[in-house]
Amino acid sequence: MIHPVITSCPVCSQTMKVTRLHCTHCHTTIENQFEFSKFAALSKEQLHFAEIFITCRGNIKEVEKELGISYPTVRGKLTEIISALGYEQEKKTVAADKSKVIQMLENGEISSEDAIKLLKEE
């Protein structure tokens, strides 16, 4: 049985290191300190969301339909993943965000309830 890689120590929660790789075919073993991919730090749920987002080619409307969640929830999950990957969110002006929300509402991309939620987040 194959188990998923554990990236955090179950005792102290610090990041684990991979120190050994083994080929089951030829039995070659390599020992050293290897780093995990940034994506290894994502939770199972975050990885699932990222897969859906990619298969939907980044189309938030499609992600909403696929997962049955609202635009603000999709946006929140993306923000969470960006942070988990270690990237800073770009600071935008509140006025630019408000105009974008209004434009999305006018285009029918989001509901009035979603627009209100987004404007309250600013």
- Written as one string, the DSSP assignment of 55-113 is HTTT-HHHHHHHHT--HHHHHHHHHHHHHHTTPPPPP--HHHHHHHHHHHHHTTSS-HH
* Whole-structure pTM value: 0.60
Helix axes 94-106, 112-121, angle to 10 degrees: 180
pLDDT tens per residue across span 71-83: 889 988 998 999 8
Spatial contact of 67 and 77, defined as CB atoms under 8 Å apart: no
Which two three-digit tokens encode residue 17? 């290191």
pLDDT tens per residue across span 18-69: 899 999 999 999 999 988 888 988 888 999 999 999 999 999 999 999 999 9
